[in-house]
Structure 1
Amino acid sequence: MSFANLSHLAQEQPLRVLLVNAGEADTLTWAGLAQPLRLAARVRPQQLVLDVCTPQQLLDGPHHSLPNHSWHIALLVADETQAPLPQQQIRAVIERCRGAQFWGGVGAGVLWLAQAGLMGGVRIALPWNLYGDAEDIDARAILAPNLFEIDGPHLSCCGGGASADFALTLVEALYGANVQAEIKEALCIDKVRGPEERQRVALQARFGALQPKLSEAVTLMEANIEEPLSTDDIAGLVGLSRRQLERLFKQYLGSLPSRYYLELRLQRAKQLLLETNHSIVQVGLMCGFSSGSHFSTAFGALFGNTPREERQRKLTG
């Protein structure tokens, strides 16, 4: 599901967003999320109301009397190092957040929602270093490696520096590129990473202890971008059957190996288009596409624009 699906919320007058800070106020996870949204509320004061509170304030303070459906977007936020809230409190906070049209978590908040059994079958962007804590998830969530995700009404972000990218993507989806550009300028942010970008951490650290075969398979993919291997080849090299490999990818990455591999190659192509002067044809070949039309079609399906339009962004950016 695309963040463009949030755009209808911009018609709400005002749009009401709830941020529940269950951690420290000075963490990057919190500041990266809250600051862009605070600026958006200043730029669009009639259109956006931002409610910020702690869990205790949500349950007992000035926000406790508001009905759950008062908020269109509600997010439970905590840095990945934050200790969990008391069970009774966290259940009450989550119940309130779930009344919003779109709801979810940022940082450790994502893990707490999953542990509450509310993310079964949902793609979630969990901080990679909390993967070891995800084994006790009651209803199996799909651990997507992306910086942030939207799946139905569920929003999730891995936190840290990605919180700012997530917040600015929300701003663009709701109020357009011009408002986003104004906030980027105010915060001295040059580039916003998109939802399709992955957490930049070694695969071994992310999956190694949990699923070494999965880590090995993705490493093989990353090492063979120009001449892609077949799914059967990868399965054989890591010592699994094709079906076993597909089951691992589906469970932990929410994708088939072939699809995941294609997205890796397209991510690399996008990077080359923006960071090098190789021709579009050369970029396609370097990323395993022998047909220019196949490259353009696949690129457009993932990113929403053509390789030529992506290159134009570099020239005019």
Structure 2
Amino acid sequence: MSPTIERPIALLLLPGHSALAAGALLDAFSRVNELQDEADYRPQPVSPAGGPVAASSGARFITEALDPQLPWHALFVLAGERAPASAALLALLRELGARSCVLAGVDGGSAVLAAAGLLDGERASVHWTLADTLMEAYPAVVWSGQVWEINAAASRLSCGGGTACLDLALAWLAGLHGDRLAQELTVALGLERARGRDERQRRPSSERMGAGSPKLAEALALMEANLAEPLPTEEVARLVGVSRRQLERLFKQHLDSLPSRYYLELRLSRARRLLQQSSQSILQIGLSCGFSSGPHFSNSYKASFGHTPRDERSQRAAAWRSLPSTEETPS
């Protein structure tokens, strides 16, 4: 049997980071050791100077000073919207990157890696509220609206806020140890499933999604109000008061998508929720979400989610059947 490989993981906590993300990553890297014996993951909260670091919630984490001489396997930068990043810290991150340390940005941590020039030419994810600002500040980075991103060499990782760090960690660990371990870890962490690379960050409302662009917010509100009878892109543009080309530019700039594609995703997301939560028939759900027939709904659903509406409903039924009964046994 080959010896277990030690893999120190630095969780670089900067003021304003998410306490939820920090705790989730500590738990994930601790639990993965119980599921495999190839590597011994050792997560360690660190900061540039050591000592307590305040999260956005006010909670404080006790950290060690980041020692660049230690053989870090990976370093996760956790930061809030306005992460302080000194020239010395950026230089240290560049040094670690040159030494083949895997670098990951969580939430505003992606902005710190971008400031160090470590994401140039890469796709990167960041919390959607920061996307517009970072697109302007770091145009060499391809900012995406996805939940997480991992580059081809698996040396640069990034994700949005909240529990997106778990989706990122699970995907990264699956690449190192296989999908089965990632599935077992998903269950161990109490998650229903891990979100895939193709899933976009959820945004709270059309008004906030269209912040900074009233025309975009108006177009999104129109789409959300007309899911059962979808409006053609030309009609949305006409009602908003812009040309089709202008509307497409707005969607590409703010949502990295075309209006027609985004509209379809809205309808499919609503259909998925109904399949999981309602007792309506599959055909009723398809028609209520703007699909002209059962086959049209089924084909579109499978192209987006990888399985049919019938499979979705069957999986949900199987999950409910597997739950223990809550009925009391008569005495």
Range into which the TM-score falls when normalised by the shorter chain: 0.7 to 0.9
Q: Is the 8 A contact 1:76 1:97 kept in 2?
A: no
Q: Is the 8 A contact 2:46 2:66 kept in 1?
A: no
1:208 is aligned to 211
1:300 is aligned to 302
| 2:21 corresponds to which of 7, 20, 29 | 29
**Structure 1, unaligned stretches of length 5 or more?**
1-12
Q: Is the 8 A contact 1:147 1:157 kept in 2?
A: yes
| Whole-angstrom CA distance in 1 between matches of 2:92 and 2:38 | 30
Q: Is the 8 A contact 1:80 1:130 kept in 2?
A: no
- Encode CA deviations 1:27-78: one digit per residue, 9 max, x unaligned: 1121223322321133113146455453649xx9665354xxx85xx45332
Q: Is the 8 A contact 1:143 1:253 kept in 2?
A: no
Q: Is the 8 A contact 2:68 2:96 kept in 1?
A: no
Sequence identity (%):
37
Aligned letter for 2:229?
E
- RCO greater where, 1 or 2, for CA within 8 Å and sep 6 or more? 1
- Encode CA deviations 1:182-224: one digit per residue, 9 max, x unaligned: 4445444445455525324223234313x22222222222221
Aligned letter for 1:262?
L
TM-score, with normalisation over the residues of structure 1?
0.76
Give how far 1:227 is off. Answer: 0.8
1:5 is aligned to none
Q: Does 1:258 align with 2:249?
A: no
| Whole-angstrom CA distance in 1 between matches of 2:283 and 2:169 | 35
Q: Is the 8 A contact 1:146 1:199 kept in 2?
A: no
Q: Is the 8 A contact 2:127 2:161 kept in 1?
A: yes
Partner-residue secondary structure (3-state), 1:227:
coil
Aligned letter for 1:243?
R
Q: Is the 8 A contact 2:94 2:118 kept in 1?
A: no
Aligned letter for 2:87?
Q
| Whole-angstrom CA distance in 1 between matches of 2:122 and 2:222 | 27
| Whole-angstrom CA distance in 2 between matches of 1:102 and 1:294 | 43
Q: Does 1:64 align with 2:69?
A: yes
| Whole-angstrom CA distance in 2 between matches of 1:303 and 1:174 | 24
Change (3 A) 1:280 1:269: same
Partner-residue secondary structure (3-state), 1:208:
coil
Give how far 1:228 is off. Answer: 0.8
Q: Is the 8 A contact 1:30 1:77 kept in 2?
A: no
2:127 is aligned to 127
Q: Does 1:148 align with 2:153?
A: no
Change (3 A) 1:311 1:101: farther
| 2:229 corresponds to which of 227, 235, 244 | 227
**Structure 2, unaligned stretches of length 5 or more?**
50-64, 320-331
In the TM superposition, what are the counterparts of 1:132-281 in structure 2 within 5 Å?
Answer: 133-134=133-134, 136-139=136-139, 144-150=144-150, 152=152, 155-171=157-173, 175=177, 179-180=181-182, 182-190=184-192, 192-195=194-197, 196=199, 198-209=201-212, 211-281=213-283
TM-score, with normalisation over the residues of structure 2?
0.74
Q: Is the 8 A contact 1:131 1:206 kept in 2?
A: no
Structure exhibiting the larger radius of gyration computed from Cα positions: 2
1:7 is aligned to none
- Over aligned residues, Cα RMSD in angstroms? 3.5
Partner-residue secondary structure (3-state), 1:78:
strand
Aligned letter for 1:163?
C
Change (3 A) 1:304 1:135: closer
Q: Does 1:285 align with 2:276?
A: no
Number of aligned residue pairs:
298
Q: Is the 8 A contact 1:20 1:54 kept in 2?
A: yes
2:105 is aligned to 105
